[in-house]
Amino acid sequence: MPRGPLMILGLVRSYSIPVRDDRVRRLITWYVDALQEAIDLIWGNIEWRYSFLKLVKRSGKLIDIMGLKIHISMILRDKGFRKSLREELMEEHT
């Protein structure tokens, strides 16, 4: 038995149970639609920026450290965006 962060704490068994209720199907469909709407809203609010190469002068010559122009996504992490996202999703899916 391994020690440390990979130590096994216990075994979990799961069984599939056939459910023929239409409410479960509607719940899963509603959940998938809500997740897709959240992903679309977040993706639409991503701001894309470029990070250009960084030049350093060594022994009289300019040397680039990164070497490439990189496209970086800037995801909004402020409370205002989270609140508006939550309100919009609750408004559409309640």
**More confident call, 66 vs 76:** 76
- Please indicate, yes or no, if residue 52 is contained in any of the structural domains: yes
Nearest residue to 82 (alpha-carbon basis) of 25, 42, 49: 42
Distance CA 65, CA 72 (A): 17
- Please indicate, yes or no, if residue 13 is contained in any of the structural domains: no
- Please indicate, yes or no, if residue 1 is contained in any of the structural domains: no
CB neighbourhood size of 38 (10 A): 15
Domain count, the chain: 1
Domain residues for 53? 22-92
Q: Name the 3-class secondary structure at 17.
A: coil
**More confident call, 75 vs 33:** 33
Tens of pLDDT along 6-57?
A: 666 677 788 887 878 888 889 889 899 999 999 998 888 888 877 776 777 8
- Please indicate, yes or no, if residue 60 is contained in any of the structural domains: yes
Beta bridge partners of 71: 50
